[in-house]
Amino acid sequence: MQPATAFAGANALSPTKTQPAHGSEAATPAWIAFDRKVLRFNCHFDEEVHESQAEASRVRKCILYYYLEDDSMHICEPKVENSGLGIDPTKSAVYLKRHRVPKPEGDFFGATDLNIGLTIDIYGRVFTLTDCDGFTRTFLEKLGIEVPQAIEEPTDGYTSTRAAVKAHVGGRPRPVNDALIRGVEASLGASSHLLEGDRLGQFLDNDRKVLRFYMAWDDRKKLYGELRPFILHYYLADDHMEVVEVKTRNNGRDPFPLFVKKGKVYKNIDSYTSIDSPTTHTTQNIGRSGRVDPATMEAFTEADFGIGKSIKVLGVEFFIHACDEFTRDYYQKVHGVELVDVPFVYEEKWERPKMPVPPHTGWAAIGSEEDSLNSMQHLVPKPPKKDMKKLMDKDGVILRFLARFETEAEEDTGRQFVIKFYCANDTIAVFEPPLKNSGLVGGKFIERTTLRKAGTQKEDGTWEFWLQGDFYTGAVVELNGWRFVIYQADEYTLSYMEAHPEQHPMSSIAYICEQAAPVLAEKREALLADCAAADPSESGYVNYEPFQAALAGAGMELNDQVLVTLLRRFDVRKDGTVSYRELMNPDSNLWK
């Protein structure tokens, strides 16, 4: 803003005139100096009302804008709810378009003609200025004009009355409480239902709010009757209700969507096709014409429902035994009633007999056991699902073990077998290496396939299968009726098992430490003495055989795989000796 001392009066604000500034040869044009600078005043005028008995005059409040760049002004009227003036509710109405406004005496209004407390005559309408914004006050004071304090605007009597009615009824005035609204609506051809309760308010407050009750219809006293479940929906928005039948599979009934269609449901009505139907089977609410009189009928309301109550809908008696959480909270907040579900048992459902699963033939030509099982369970055979992630992650991972028969037969004591476990799909293959002069032809002993554990069949006919965690040194496995004792594994298998302790707990040093730590602490002195006797040089290392003898002497019987894991872990020098001092120290880093 330019200094106020550069202008002297309203003529200096004209867009066609400029006033030289002190100490300058040329003045800045007004359309540049006052670009987008506007004076803003609150004002009002009184308007006489001739067509209403409720008011003689009305106070209309406006806002006056004075544009300094061209001395133009315009007046707008803010929106007022339900004023009936035809103002767009989304924006303010323009009462006076922007232009230079002439005075009654012939000159144009200027900035010095506007101030709080003044009245101005604009085209025969008298406006009273009551307040201004901060920029306007500062601008006029720099021009040397004293600006009074804001004046309280007069209140409109009719608007105050409407506000009092609105506060009394708790919302906007309703036709029931406002004679003017009823008269206007009636003159426009509205129906008499406006004299009823506020249906629009009920709809807006309760839209999409539905009470849900669970009911039962016990018809077992009749021939072929039964106990059937139903659900009642009560819509708070319009006081309508519907009854839905709970569908069950193979119940022998047509799948009707609703038992009672959504709408007003009246009491003491056995059955009906419409309200005016003369065929309704009831002895109440019947007029002289033989038809049901809707005015005398009583419809169901939310107060008629509650857990433990029985209601009669179209001649059918239902027992309400439960509700959902929303309904429970609603009755607690609105009615102060706590709804507690009633234990209710419907008829026990019979279990469908299951077809027994026939045993697998074991023929490789007809596919695996899972493939054959799918062919039995589905009319159209489906291939068994495969774990593609497991196939990709463990492709080529094969665990190899040496095993022998668990038998005392002399002809089988010398036979050795190689068991291969394929981690990608949990399949197992067994080979017998050829042995010279044994009279047995070596080669494939068991075809590669998934093998189930004997005696593990479940109720659904499925079996438990051998997994990679079941194979370790010292384990006894029964494959296709042959019992094998695993006594050795190759280096790759041992390293893989130690690298995946979650699948091979016998190779987990943490699991072994957790199980063996209490025993080692109890027998530490005896084990150290036996190992020191086998270590005359006191190097802290003993061979495998003395170490195993010390464990046996202390009464510690360890699993073969656990012993192998300990020997591999504490063979620090990788020369077939065990660091027994590190093994006896539970705080050693080798235990971690």
The order of strands in the sheet holding 427-432 is 443-449, 427-432, 416-422, 398-405, 482-489, 476-479
* Structure letter (DSSP) for residue 234: E
The answer to whether 47 touches 57, Cβ cutoff 8 Å, is yes
In this structure, what token pair is assigned to residue 426? 């949990």
DSSP element (H, E) containing 320: strand 316-323
pLDDT by 10-residue block (mean), the chain, 592 residues: 36 39 58 90 91 83 93 90 63 86 91 93 93 94 92 85 72 62 69 61 88 92 87 94 88 82 85 42 42 68 92 91 94 92 73 74 64 80 85 93 89 89 93 86 89 82 86 92 93 92 87 80 81 81 82 79 85 81 75 69
Closest C-alpha among 105, 101, 125, 123 to residue 114: 101
Q: CB atoms < 10 A from the CB of 181, how many?
A: 17
Task: Write 325-328 long-range contacts (CB < 8 A, 24+).
Answer: 326/209, 326/210, 326/211, 326/212, 327/211, 327/212, 327/213
Give me the domains of the chain, ranges plus CATH numbers. Answer: 30-162 (2.30.29.170), 202-274+294-335 (2.30.29.170), 384-503 (2.30.29.170), 508-584 (1.10.238.10)
Three-state secondary-structure class, residue 581: helix
